[in-house]
Amino acid sequence: MTTLKANTRPVPATGQWIILGALAAMLAAAAVLTVLALAVAFWPDIALFKPLDSYARATLFTIIPAFVATGLFAWLAHHRAAPERTFLRIAAVVLLLSFIPDYLLPVPHRTILASSIAAFLHLIAATVIIAVLVGGYRRFSR
């Protein structure tokens, strides 16, 4: 008995997923660092808020999710009939959940402004990562 593959569309190769993940990570990190630098320039006190006090941390917390998202999308592309739609739904839920710690964690110097900027950085990262991954998936799976 044979099994049918859930996705009938061609799936990007592993090397293509790695390229997409690296590109998503680099572009998202650059966007996040740019926005963070601008925000700190306008509101220097936000740098007292632990999530916004380190460019290295911001980079790390952007690159890791980019590769996790890439792995998830690659898995969905191999196992789901509509991987793009499923990925977008999961990404939306994860993005919304990522806002919660920014507003609720008992971290010194947490203000509405600092928490909102941290949440905005999540939105920036997610937008870039999703755009790169979905655009790359569409391009490579033609």
The DSSP call for residue 94 is H
Q: Is residue 76 part of a domain?
A: yes
Q: Is residue 2 part of a domain?
A: no
pLDDT of 121 over the 90 cut: yes
Q: Is residue 6 part of a domain?
A: no
Percent of the chain predicted with pLDDT > 70: 94
Asked if 74 and 132 touch (Cβ cutoff 8 Å), the reply is no
Res 122: pLDDT: 98
Q: Is residue 78 part of a domain?
A: yes
Q: Is residue 136 part of a domain?
A: yes
pLDDT digits 0-9 by tens, 48-84: 999 999 999 999 999 999 999 999 999 999 999 899 9
Q: In a 3-state reduction of DSSP, which class is residue 139?
A: helix
Q: Is residue 58 part of a domain?
A: yes
Q: pTM for this structure?
A: 0.91
Q: Is residue 4 part of a domain?
A: no
Q: Which two tokens stand for residue 51?
A: 């999530």
Q: What integer is the mean pLDDT of 83-109?
A: 95
Domain count, the chain: 1
Alpha helix stretches (DSSP H) within 49-111: 55-79, 83-104
Q: Is residue 46 part of a domain?
A: yes
Nearest Cα residue to 37 out of 117, 128, 130, 135: 117
pLDDT of 105 over the 70 cut: yes
Write out the residue range of the structural domain in which residue 50 sits: 14-140
Contacts of 70 (CB under 8 A, 6+ apart): 17, 18, 20, 21, 24, 133
Q: In a 3-state reduction of DSSP, which class is residue 141?
A: coil
Mean pLDDT of the chain: 93
Q: For the purposes of burial, counting CB atoms within 10 Å of the CB of 49, is it exposed (0-12), middle (13-18) or buried (19 or more)?
A: buried
The DSSP call for residue 48 is G
